[in-house]
Amino acid sequence: MLRDGKAITVSGITREFGPATAVDGISFEVDRGEFFGFLGPNGAGKTTLIRMLTTLLKPTSGQAIVSGFDVAEDPARVRKHIGVVPQAMTSDLDLTGRENMDIYGRFYGIRSGERKERIEYLLEMVGLAPRADDLVATYSGGMRRRLEIARVLVHKPALLFLDEPTIGLDPQSRRVVWELLKKLMQGDSITIFLTTHYMEEAELLCGRVAIIDAGKIIAMGSPAALKAGIPGNDIVTLKVGGLTDEIIGAMEKLPFVHKVSREEDSLAASVDNGAENLPQLIDVVRASGGAIVAASVHEQSLEDVFIHYTGKSIREEEARKVSFLIGAGMPQRLGR
């Protein structure tokens, strides 16, 4: 079935909605056992891509082989082998956690004895055993998400898709979900495909990341390789009293400075060896007539990779808007 060892092979996949192109000729491969992530801002096309890979949307053109089967030609076979946690909360509020899982298990035709055992094990694993017989309506967002992850593992899929699994969760719940996903990777030989717009999520979990913007992959590789692929390795942020263009010009002349961007009275410079070179930077600012108010150095993140390639940041603000919509029970169709 997986003769070539690939869990996912995608070539030139495209999806149009009327005149708009949501996913624009994307190609990539995911090996078995990989934790692969798609990182991109809202509206980048992540959900559309995952829906095509999981047979919910027909590609306009291009091809995707998932678990050895073509998603367009053999959708039923594909569905049998994968587990998918969609972006929106999809557990039944009127059923208990255990009932949710049991019904799901029966959809896959798992026999009763095996099903009960597996459900017990999974409920324990996601920490919901004590609340298993409460209605899902009484669960918190984090609990609901964990239940949904457990639910799609009932039939032991070899390939798991997660569409923004921590969107709309508080930081505490988010960390619990991350721990859960890490634990999953250590156990069974499972392949995980995840999308997110949180760079720390991609950085923490994924072995390999594709950065997606406006329906196209703009960079792909391990987080370390992606960061190494852009000039500099640290970001120095300086808050400067009396910041002028001359100060920025003077900084850009330094050999270890690659790029300086300005936002109001702050500047961010991507540099080599930020900690060692910080005193020299401060000297230059002072020499050009600026006063240092605050300074910080941090390692470059995937966010900086995204900024490097697109010139904009993966805005957190937009993310908050979406999580608000989802919290309010908006359908997936609207709360992209």
Partner 1 sequence: MTKLLAVIERDLKKFKRNPVVLAMSILMPMIYLVILGNSFQGKLTDLPLAVVSQDQGPYAKRLMEYLMAVQAGPRTFLVLPMDDQRAAVDGVRAGKYKAALIIPPDFSRRVAVSGKPDIGLFLDNTDSISADTIRNLIDAALLSIRSEYVPVREPTGEPLLRDINLYGKVDYYQSLVPGVVIMAIFLGTLTTGAFNLVMDRFLGIEESYLLTPLSKGHIVGGLIISGLSITTVNAILIFMMSVLITGIPFSKGVLNFFPILLVVLLTTLCLLSLMFAIMGRIGHPRIVGVLSGFLNVILFFPSGAVYPVASFPGWLKSFARINPEAYAVDALKSILFKNAGMGNILGDLTFLALFTVAMMSLSILTFKRTL
At 171, list the tokens.
């930081």
Among 37, 40, 62, 105, binds ligand ADP (CB under 6 A): 40
The partner in contact with residue 196, picked from Mg ion, ligand ADP, partner 1, none with C-beta cut-offs of 5 to 8 angstroms by kind, is: none
DSSP string, 219-277: EEE-HHHHHHTSS-SEEEEEEEET--HHHHHHHHTSTTEEEEEEETTEEEEEESSHHHH
How many C-beta atoms lie closer than 10 Å to residue 289's C-beta? 14
| Residue 89 binds which entry of partner 1, Mg ion, ligand ADP, none, CB below 5-8 Å type-dependent | partner 1
Between 156 and 321, CB nearer to ligand ADP: 321
CA-to-CA distance for 259 and 254, rounded, in angstroms?
Answer: 10
With CB under 5 to 8 Å by kind, the binding choice for 17 among partner 1, Mg ion, ligand ADP, none is ligand ADP
Using CB under 8 A, list all residues that contact partner 1.
Answer: 51, 54-58, 75-76, 79-80, 82, 84, 86, 88-92, 94-95, 99, 103-104, 106-109, 135, 148, 151-152, 329-333, 335
Among 44, 169, 248, 250, binds ligand ADP (CB under 6 A): 44
- What's the closest the beta carbon of residue 30 comes to ligand ADP, in angstroms? 18
**Cβ proximity to partner 1, 253 vs 333, nearer residue:** 333
Structure-token pair, residue 16: 């149009």
Measured in degrees and rounded to the nearest 5, phi and psi for residue 186 equal: -70, -35
CB 129 → partner 1: shortest distance, Å?
Answer: 21
- The whole-angstrom separation of Cα 175 and Cα 166 is 9
122 binds ligand ADP (CB under 6 A): no
Radius of gyration of the chain (CA): 23
DSSP run (H or E) holding 204: helix 199-205
Task: Choose the binding region for ligand ADP from 44-52, 128-136, 173-181, 253-261 (rule: CB under 6 A).
Answer: 44-52
Q: What is the closest distance, in whole angstroms, from the C-beta atom of residue 328 to ligand ADP in the complex? A: 17
Number of C-beta neighbours around residue 193 at 10 A: 25
Query: Rounded CA gap, 154 and 135, in Å?
Result: 19
Which of residues 87 and 173 has its CB atom nearest to Mg ion in the complex?
87
Q: Which stretches of the chain bind ligand ADP, using CB under 6 A?
A: 17, 20, 22, 40, 42-48, 336
